[in-house]
Structure formats: structure tokens, C-alpha cells
Amino acid sequence: MSFQIFDLSRSITKKQTVAITGLMLISFVLVHLAGNLFIFDGPKPFNEYAEHLERFGIFKKIAEWALFLVFLIHIERVTSLVVQNIRAAGGLKRYAVDNSRGPRSLATRLMPFTGTFLFLYLICHLYDFAWANDQGIRSMINGKSLGLYGLVVNSFKNPIHCWLYVVAMYCLCLHLTHGVESFFQTFGIQDSRFTLLVRKLSRVFALMIMIAYSSIPLYVLYILKI
Amino acid sequence: MSKKINLTLKVWRQKNCKSPGAFEVYEAKGIDTDMSFLEMLDVVNERLTKENIDPISFDHDCREGICGTCGSVVNGQAHGPVKGTTLCQLHMRNFTDGQLIVIEPFRAKAFPVINDLAVDRSSFDRIIQSGGFISIKTGQAPDAHSLPVLKGRSDSAMDAAQCIGCGACVAACPNAAAMLFVSAKVYHLNILPQGEPELKTRTINMVKQMDKEGFGNCSNEYECEAACPKEISVSHIARLNQQHRKSNFT
């Protein structure tokens, strides 16, 4: 009898790595959302929350690097899977007639594209808010610096910026629609009786995330008076 | 009532896996609608032979939908447009007079073309071989109920055992993954007491061999289930994922 060795390169293990890192990223998305929603309370609670996070010091740095690592693993594993898939199928153009019968959805087809777009947007997003000077000119509202709150409000008062954010959240919604559902299948916590329920619930979850996140720039652009 | 229809076939012709293939167009005239798809190809081949053209190669054996030998992609769908049937059980009444039918082989790196529509699916055989043996007592017939199996388990095992290994799941999967096939073959043994002792090695070895053969990875698009002539459920893939995870950690 041959004995198995724990092998990270096996196809199922690779997918499960993607699934588990995906779950970690989803939990980050939820925590980040909870913090973001302080913006509806005005400048003080929002900035206080941001300062509160800063107080964690070294632990915040460790958490950030861990998150970065999770991102890298997620992206690297997915890239390797996609390359293998294209090779296995013998290229991108496979059949003369593209006429699939199954439930393959738009979200599923677009997974690599929504993922890539989100990654690129994330870099812009970090550049905009996380790496920007929150006491600088971009944080000024009516001649007074309002810290991170000012930075966010000034950015989203620009319609292009605001709608780019909404588009990114739509991509996140599509990505999560397939991602959450896939998590259950890939980890085998799935049964044919629950397939449809899991699909519906992941759609609802993804839609809620999109609505909650998008409400922030839309509120700033169309409702908030400064 | 059967009637006669005329069809235009656009068929993939390829000498072998090393030479490039191309589509050729043939007319199929006076096809009886009670014929099966393969009988229609037989009629076309007879005419091609008379005209000194190489007949179209295609795999077939039982022509009863139980052996899993036949299979081509017809108008973009593995085994053609009817759900839950093999190509040999697809009848020409499902097509209309004057219709264009595009016929291609199952395309995957792990299924190299032998000739025209015939592909080499021995990668499936090697996956089965890598699964190894099961533990059963040989000799006299065992007493009834000496190995009790729960009804639900035996039903599940039978559902999985319906897989005829035709390869439609690979052909339909956008990633050419063989997960539905492997999961069905792993699961119908793993769930029964006869197959349980080797559960871990079987699971790991068959998945390893699947990777080695160059199949793609499942991205949960469920095209395989829709194309499967035996309508095997993707929940078997979930079970394989689960058993692989558990086998990995012990």
C-alpha cells in the first residue's frame, strides 16, 4: 500500500487553498465594511475608528502583511489553476459552436476578469486612501482638514471616482456570487439537496455586500452636503 | 411516423493527433428520422466509401447507450442536444430538414485525437488502474446480509456506478476537468464496506493520476452534470473534495 504525502500541488488541494484564502478575504471584506459604515455617523466617529485601528501598532502591521500574503496566495494559486485549465482544454477557442447546456453563468465566466479588475482597483484604492496623507490638501473641507473622512468625501464628490467604486463593487458582487457558492462545493460541505439554496444564498450575500459598500460613495456624491 | 430529411454535416477530419485537422462539409440526403445519429453516419460513410473518400472515423460499440464508447460534440454539445442520452441513442427526429450539424471530437489535452472523431480515452483507464483493488472475500458465495449496507448508501453507490466513462464531462467542462468521472468512480467504492479499507489511498492515487494525465481543474461550473448521459450529480464532486481533504490530513 502506498502512503500519501501532504501535497500542496494536487489539483483539489490547490482549489481548497483558493477557497480558504477566499474565505479569509471575505471576512476582511466584512470587517472593512463594518468600519466603513461609520462614515454615515459623520467625521468624528469615522476618524476615531481609523485612529483606534492605528493604536494596534505592530499588530496592525502584522495583520496587514498577513492579509497581503493571503491575497498573494489566492492570486498565485488561481493563476496556476487557470493556466492549467487553458492548457488542458487545448486553448481558449475549443469548439466551433459555443453552445453549453449547463448552468454556467456570467459571474462564472467572468471570474478571472472580475478578479483581475478588483486587484487593479485595489491598488488605486490603497493609493487613494491608505497611502495618502490624511492631513494634506485632499482632506480639506471648507478650509479645514477633516482627516481620513475629508479624504474619502473629497474623493467621492468626484462622480468618476464614485462610479468607478460602484463598478468595482459590482465586480466584487459577481466574484462573490460564484466564489461563495464554490467554497461549499470545493470543501465538500455540500449536498444535492442544498445546491439551489446555497446558490441563492450566495447571490443574496454578494448583492448585500455590493449594496452596503456602494451606498457609501453614492451617499457622499448625491446626499451629503458639505 | 418516420420521414426522410436532408442534412448538411460539417465534420472535423483529422488524420492523427500530430497532423492539423479541418472541417469538411458533406451532404446527408434522405436520412430516416428513426435512425440513430451513428446510423446516419454509417449511411454517409457508405456513400463516402463508394466515392473513394475515407469514411469518417467515430467510436462506437454497444449502440444501446450503456458502454460509453461513442461520443462526439454535436452542435457544441457533448452527445448532442438531447439531455441524458449518449450519441448512439440520439435519434435523427431531433433534427430538422435542412439543418446544419457541426460534429467535432471531444476536445481535451488528455484525449488526443486518434482519427477524425475518435479520441484516445485511455487516460480514464489509467485513472481506474491507479485506484487499485478492493477488499472482498473470495471463495464461496457469502451469506446474505453478511455485509450490511444501508439503503441510502447503496442507492448513492448505484447512482455513482452509473458512470459509463464516456468522457462527455471532460468534453463539456470549460476546463476539460475529469472531476465528475473521477468522483463517481471513487465514490461508488468509497461509500460501500467493500471499498472502505482502501478509501484514502484510492482517493489520493486517483486524483494524483487525474492530475498527471493533464486534465484541468474543476471550477464548479456544472457543465459536466448537464452533459452527462447518465445525469450523474455534481454532489459526487463535493464528496470527492471532502474525502480528499480528509485523506490528506491523516
Three-state DSSP state, B36: strand
How far apart are alpha carbons B184 and B161 in whole angstroms? 7
Task: Provide mean pLDDT across the span A52-78.
Answer: 94
Q: What is the mean pLDDT of chain A?
A: 92
Q: Which residues of B touch A3 (CB under 8 A)?
A: 201
How far apart are alpha carbons B78 and B68 in whole angstroms? 12
Residue of B47, B28, B59, B220 whose CA lies nearest to A181: B220
Q: What is the pLDDT along chain B (250 residues), one digit of tens a residue?
A: 789 999 999 999 999 999 999 999 999 999 999 999 999 999 999 999 999 999 999 999 999 999 999 999 999 999 999 999 999 999 999 999 999 999 999 999 999 999 999 999 999 999 999 999 888 878 888 888 888 899 999 999 999 999 999 999 999 999 999 999 999 999 999 999 989 999 999 999 999 999 999 999 999 999 999 999 999 999 999 999 999 998 887 6
* Distance from chain centroid for Cα A28: 8
Residue in A89, A185, A192 nearest the CB of B174 = A89
How far apart are alpha carbons B16 and B57 in whole angstroms? 11
Q: With contact defined as beta carbons under 8 Å apart, do B190 and B157 qualify?
A: no
- pLDDT (tens digit per residue) in A104-122: 889 999 999 999 999 999 9
Residue in A88, A99, A195 nearest the CB of B216 = A88
Q: Is the confidence at residue A217, as pLDDT, over 80?
A: yes
User: Which grid cell is A77?
Assistant: 494559486
Most B CBs within 10 A among A10, A11, A93, hence the mutation to make, goes to A11
Tell me what percent of the residues of chain A surpass a pLDDT of 90: 76
Residue A143 pLDDT: 86
- pLDDT (tens digit per residue) in A72-99: 999 999 999 999 999 999 988 899 998 8
Q: Name the CATH topology of B4-104.
A: Ubiquitin-like (UB roll) (3.10.20)
Residue A6 pLDDT: 60
Which residues, including other chains, have CB under 8 Å from residue B126's CB and lie 6 or more apart?
B209, B213
- pTM of the full structure: 0.93
Residue A141 phi/psi, 5-degree rounding, is -125, 125
| Residue A3 pLDDT level (bands cut at 50, 70, 90) | very low
Residue B236 phi/psi, 5-degree rounding, is -65, -35
Q: Name the CATH topology of B122-248.
A: Fumarate Reductase Iron-sulfur Protein; Chain B, domain 2 (1.10.1060)
Q: With contact defined as beta carbons under 8 Å apart, do B125 and B69 qualify?
A: no
Domain boundaries, chain B: 4-104, 122-248
Tell me how far CA of residue A118 lies from CA of A73, A115, A167, A170, in angstroms: 15, 5, 10, 10
Q: Do domains B4-104 and B122-248 have the same CATH topology?
A: no
CB contact under 8 A, A88 and B10: no
User: Which grid cell is B153?
Assistant: 448508501
Q: Which residues of A touch B243 (CB under 8 A)?
A: 188
Q: Is the confidence at residue A2, as pLDDT, over 70?
A: no
Residue B250 pLDDT: 63
Q: Is the confidence at residue A134, as pLDDT, over 90?
A: no
Residue B75 pLDDT: 96
Rg (CA), chain B: 20
Residue A4 pLDDT: 46
Residue A130 pLDDT: 86
ipTM score of complex = 0.91
Query: In terms of residues, how long is chain A?
Result: 226
The larger pLDDT score, comparing residue B13 to residue A196, is at B13
Please, which residues 25-64 of chain B have a Cβ atom closer than 8 Å to chain A? none
E strands along chain B, which residues?
4-13, 22-32, 73-74, 77-78, 100-104, 113-115, 118-119
Residue B224 pLDDT: 97
Residue of B12, B3, B39, B10 whose CA lies nearest to B27: B10
Q: With contact defined as beta carbons under 8 Å apart, do B155 and A192 qualify?
A: no
